[in-house]
Amino acid sequence: MHGPDGTDYKNEIQYIELIKPEKIVFEHLTGPKHRTTILLESLHQKTILHFTMVFASPEIKEQTIKTYKADIGLQQNIDKLENYLLGIIPEKELTLTRILKSPRQAVFNAWVDINQLVKWWGPQGFSNPVCEIDPKPGGKIYIEMKAPDGTVYPMAGEFIEIVKPEKIVFTSGALNKKGGAIFEAINTVTFEEDGKHTKLTLHAMVTEVSEEAKPYVGGMDEGWSQSLLRLEELVSKN
């Protein structure tokens, strides 16, 4: 490491354990020797980072903090890591609210009943020749949306939480030609009674993972808006 004052700080480490993408363990071989364990825990498109440094004795730990300001340096490293990741993995969040002139149970059912979902999912003019859902926590979602020009856009996801008739949480993401996910979004849909009507709120958070994802993410607002309009038309007839 090259400091602002021109001083060089040599570091040598040896990796002990790597479990992708969950765990990293390494020994620091220069300076006060210690073992570092990093645990990475996924939480709704975010990551909880657990960072533990174990020294040979409490005295060595205190001396390392006093001499090298290791506690401040660690926090600065984590802050720099977060800023770096935010720069290469831009996120997009979207919240839409609609008042639907239908009872809450009817609106909720339109999201978990495959015979209804197939009729409104996707932008105007799209159809869903393949629509497979298993509406339970851990249940899979697979839909092939067909555009008016005949192009098929496959997507997949998974239900995370279902609270009848109040809330649905699920992931979704477009697939490339090899069946790999171009990006993933976590979607939370809530249903609130509003007299005889239903207040529907959709919150979607997307993480781009490739250049391929940008056109899809850029059209997310319009795509969901048109889907919800089709949903409104469907439930108003029921």
8 Å CB contact between 36 and 25: yes
Is-cis flag, bond preceding 165, omega within 30?
Answer: yes
What CATH number labels 91-237? 3.30.530.20
pTM: 0.64
Output the pLDDT for position 18. Answer: 95
8 Å CB contact between 182 and 171: no
8 Å CB contact between 92 and 206: yes
Structure tokens at 4: 């602002």
Half-sphere exposure in the Cβ direction for 234 (13 Å, CA): 21
Structure tokens at 144: 């092939």
Min mean pLDDT across 13-22, 65-74, 102-111 is at: 65-74
Q: Which of the two residues, 189 and 79, has the higher pLDDT score? A: 189
Residue 208: band (very low, low, confident or very high) from pLDDT cuts 50, 70, 90: low
Helix axes 220-237, 104-112, angle to 10 degrees: 120
Give the model confidence (pLDDT) of 70-91 as tens digits. Answer: 888 888 888 888 877 766 555 6
Structure tokens at 226: 């048109």
Min mean pLDDT across 27-36, 62-71, 170-179, 223-232 is at: 62-71
8 Å CB contact between 127 and 120: no
One-letter amino acid at 103 equals: P
CB atoms within 10 A of CB 152: 11
Pairwise CA distance, residues 174 & 188, whole Å: 17
Output the pLDDT for position 207. Answer: 72
Length of the chain counted residue by residue: 238
8 Å CB contact between 198 and 100: yes
